[in-house]
């Protein structure tokens, strides 16, 4: 069985394998660039700048 590729939400950029984002339920796209991993959104300056409050993997750009 073939493994599905990574996709990212077109709204919040959350990376998943699903066709719809588990966070905001928007569609996902395979056309992604860059990777941002948030481990501690409460204490991370990068998470604050990126406006991410849920830990996980995010694409820097999604089309």
Which DSSP category does 47 fall into?
H
For 3-16, how does the pLDDT look when each residue is reduced to its tens digit (9 = 90+)?
Answer: 468 999 999 999 99
43: annotated binding-site residue? Answer: no
55: annotated binding-site residue? Answer: no
Check residue 2 and give its pLDDT: 42
For 23-47, how does the pLDDT look when each residue is reduced to its tens digit (9 = 90+)?
Answer: 999 999 999 999 999 999 999 999 9
Half-sphere exposure of residue 58, counting CA atoms within 13 Å on the CB side?
Answer: 20
pLDDT at 1 over 50: no
Check residue 31 and give its pLDDT: 96
49: annotated binding-site residue? Answer: no
pLDDT at 21 over 50: yes
Burial group, residue 49, by CB count within 10 angstroms (0-12, 13-18, 19+): exposed
More confident residue, 48 or 1: 48
Domains and CATH numbers, the chain: 7-62 (2.20.28.90)
24: annotated binding-site residue? Answer: yes
């Amino acid at each position: 069985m073939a493994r599905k590729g990574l996709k990212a939400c077109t709204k919040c950029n959350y990376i998943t394998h699903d066709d719809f984002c588990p966070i905001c339920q928007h569609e996902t796209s395979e056309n992604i660039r860059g990777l941002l991993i948030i481990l501690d959104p409460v204490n991370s300056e990068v998470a604050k700048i990126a406006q991410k409050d849920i830990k996980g993997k995010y694409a820097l750009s999604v089309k």
